[in-house]
Amino acid sequence: MNDLENLYRQVIMDHYKNPRNKGLKGFPHVHIKNPSCGDDITVEAEIINKQVKQVRHQGSGCSICCSSASVLSELMLNKSVDEARALVSKYYAMIKGEALDHPEALEEAIVYQGVAKFPARIKCATIAWKAFEQILNGETDE
Amino acid sequence: MKIDAHIRDLFPIYQQQPHLVYLDSAATSLKPQPVLAKMQEYYEQYGVNIHRGVYHLSYLATEEYEKARRTVAKFINASEEEIVFTKNATAGLNMVALTYGETNLQRGDKVIVSELEHHSSLLPWMKLCERKQAQLVYVPLNNDGQITVENFLSVFDNQVKVVALTYVSNVMGYITPLPEIIRFAHAKQAVVVVDAAQAVPHLAVDVKALDADFLAFSAHKMLGPTGIGVLYGKAKLLKKLAPLAYGGDMNESVSHHMVEVKPIPYRFEAGTPAIAEALGLAKACEVITDIAYDRIREHDRALHAYALSQLNKISGLTVYNPKADIGIITFNINGVHPHDAATFFDQKQIALRAGHHCAQLVSKWLHCEGTLRASFYLYNTKKDVDLFVETVKQTVAFFENILGKQHE
């Protein structure tokens, strides 16, 4: 199986077909749109005492974009804001093809390391993460 | 010049990328050697500024630049003074809205556009109408997504001052029935602005026969370089327009509080223009003329028909424009986002476009998030089509396998 098929098989089979934590509940959110491809996603997070209690997402786009939002929503559960930030940075580094210390911290998100081989898709794989990162930084919409 | 197995020898990119299957010519065409050589010649032999120097080399460069204008004029059957060199079709269309539109459009007037417009033929008029409190009116498309004369007439009335339409749709590949539309428009004194960016690569454009008032295109879609385009305007209209940009070279005399501008077309070309690119564009016109539009059309028709017949045999696929007039196939693999599919093509070095192709209203009309688009040009071969079709099959099969069979 080649890299692409491998990536797609793992990602699509699960999170694209059965997204977790989909649907918004009214927590602080960030909406990001990629006009060049039509990826359009809103991520929201409930953060209490600097701890991520819930991440929700809603939107439309390609399988890499949508599934990575679902993976993100599970990974970040119960992480402190600082831990969450570190995971986001680690994820970006992985997508860029950089060598990582303790990649296992990314749990399921590790399947997206295959995206490094398809630079045209980096935007797809990071859009939900960028939205979440903005929430962590307090840069929410409205 | 024939379109045969040797046609690719004209395109150096195939030496660098021997396995490239380039199906994105509606975005930009590949560039032939003579165009590149002409640009190189300018930089190597007489690469100095034009219209300024009184020395020999500047004279030479100016001669070449103005010769390029003559070549382009002849290419679309205009006169030299009617050819304004611009950055691209977008710049030309914006210029018409910001000069002609700005002076002539009034509150309550109407501008007719269509949902097939590329954003560059739509947004300048949308913003102008907003400023002028004029009305932007869309020609209703027929069931196939085409602009018809009948539908045009259904929205055309005395309030219409400008008709801004594409000659060939960059997503659907339809040719707009412009000759009739222009006749009707002129009968009520409306001015017609044609976006010919997709037309010029495929059709012999004769501005006189067409009777277009303004017509814009880019060099880069017709074998020419990026960074240069053409705005044609009827001389009598251009003469009434003030320049959009002021600066060097476009004026005749300057005093403390007065500037006298040059005659057309020079008054519209402020600053040092894209000289090498103008020469490259003229060379591209010559290459196309050498090959001949008849041959380009015939080649395009044969590839297009063959591709459609092969795609027809594959289930799990939606082709949105089986009736396209030129070689553009807009399609989706059912249930698969176009960007997911495009990466599979990319892996096979098949370059095609995915998304909304700078024409979001077409995607809306088609009720989809975006599409895949394969577009052919004179360097494509039957083998390209075979590789493309084979990859479509593989991609359909792959996604069916993991997502389950998709219903239309």
Q: Dihedrals φ, ψ of B106, to 5°?
A: -125, 165
Cα–Cα distance between A117 and A100 in angstroms, integer? Answer: 16
Under 8 Å CB pairs connecting chains A and B tally to 44
Cβ atoms of A94 and A45 closer than 8 Å: no
Q: Which of A2, A17, A38 sits opposite B370 (nearest CB)?
A: A38
Contacts of A118 in chain B (CB under 8 A): 343, 346
| A90-123 pLDDT per residue, tens | 999 999 999 999 999 999 999 899 888 888 889 9
Instruction: Check if B353 contacts A (Cβ < 8 Å).
Output: no
| A115-131 pLDDT per residue, tens | 888 888 899 999 999 99
Q: Count structural domains, chain A.
A: 1
* Low-confidence winner among B77-86, B187-196, B391-400 (lowest mean pLDDT): B391-400
Q: In what order do the strands lie in the sheet with B371-375?
A: B317-319, B328-333, B371-375, B353-355
Considering only residues 49 to 108 of chain A, which have any Cβ-Cβ distance to chain B shorter than 8 Å?
A: 60-64
Beta bridge partners of B253: B260
Q: Is the peptide bond before B265 cis (omega within 30 degrees of 0)?
A: yes
Q: What is the mean pLDDT of residues B341-346?
A: 92
Q: What is the mean pLDDT of residues B179-197?
A: 98
Beta strands in B202-312 (DSSP E): 214-218, 229-233, 251-255, 258-261
pTM here is 0.93
* Owning domain of residue A118: 3-136
Contacts of B402 in chain A (CB under 8 A): 8-9, 12-13
- Pairing type for strands B317-319 and B328-333 reads antiparallel
Asked if residue A142 is part of any domain, the answer here is no
What pLDDT shows up at residue B408? 45
Neighbour count for residue B189 (Cβ, 10 Å): 9
How far A10 CA sits from the closest chain B CA (Å)? Answer: 10
Contacts of A37 in chain B (CB under 8 A): 338-339, 354-355, 370
Q: Which of A8, A112, A117 to substitute to test the interface with B, most B CBs within 10 Å?
A: A8
Cβ atoms of B281 and B68 closer than 8 Å: yes
How far B359 CA sits from the closest chain A CA (Å)? Answer: 11
Chain B residue with CA closest to A3: the answer is: B347
CB contact under 8 A, A60 and B346: no
Cα–Cα distance between B327 and A53 in angstroms, integer? Answer: 53
What pLDDT shows up at residue A1? 52
- Pairing type for strands B110-114 and B135-139 reads parallel
Asked if residue A64 is part of any domain, the answer here is yes
How far A89 CA sits from the closest chain B CA (Å)? Answer: 25
Q: Which of A62, A111, A118 to substitute to test the interface with B, most B CBs within 10 Å?
A: A62
CB contact under 8 A, A36 and B355: yes
Q: Which of A37, A112, A117 to substitute to test the interface with B, most B CBs within 10 Å?
A: A37
SS3 B260: strand
What pLDDT shows up at residue B407? 47
Instruction: Check if A5 contacts B (Cβ < 8 Å).
Output: yes
Chain A residue with CA closest to B364: the answer is: A38
Asked if residue A99 is part of any domain, the answer here is yes
Q: What are the CA-CA distances from residue B52 to residues A39, B59, B128, B228 (Å)?
A: 50, 9, 36, 21
Nearest Cα neighbor of A46 from A16, A24, A65 is: A24
Which of the two residues, B51 and B345, has the higher pLDDT score? B345
Which domain CATH number covers A87?
3.90.1010.10
Mean pLDDT of chain B: 95
Instruction: Check if B397 contacts A (Cβ < 8 Å).
Output: no
The DSSP symbol for B334 reads T
Instruction: Check if B124 contacts A (Cβ < 8 Å).
Output: no
CB contact under 8 A, B339 and A2: no
Length of chain A: 142
Contacts of A1 in chain B (CB under 8 A): none
CB contact under 8 A, B356 and A5: no
CB contact under 8 A, B369 and A4: no
CB contact under 8 A, B402 and A37: no
Instruction: Check if B369 contacts A (Cβ < 8 Å).
Output: yes
What pLDDT shows up at residue B359? 82
Report the b/e string of B268-306 with b at 16+ CB within 10 A.
bbbeebbbbbbbbbbbbbbbbeebeeebbbebbeebbee
Asked if residue A35 is part of any domain, the answer here is yes
Q: Is B358 an annotated catalytic residue?
A: yes
Per-residue pLDDT at B368 exceeds 90: no
Asked if residue A141 is part of any domain, the answer here is no
Beta strands in B200-299 (DSSP E): 214-218, 229-233, 251-255, 258-261
Asked if residue A105 is part of any domain, the answer here is yes
> Sorting pLDDT into bands at 50, 70 and 90, what band is B334?
very high
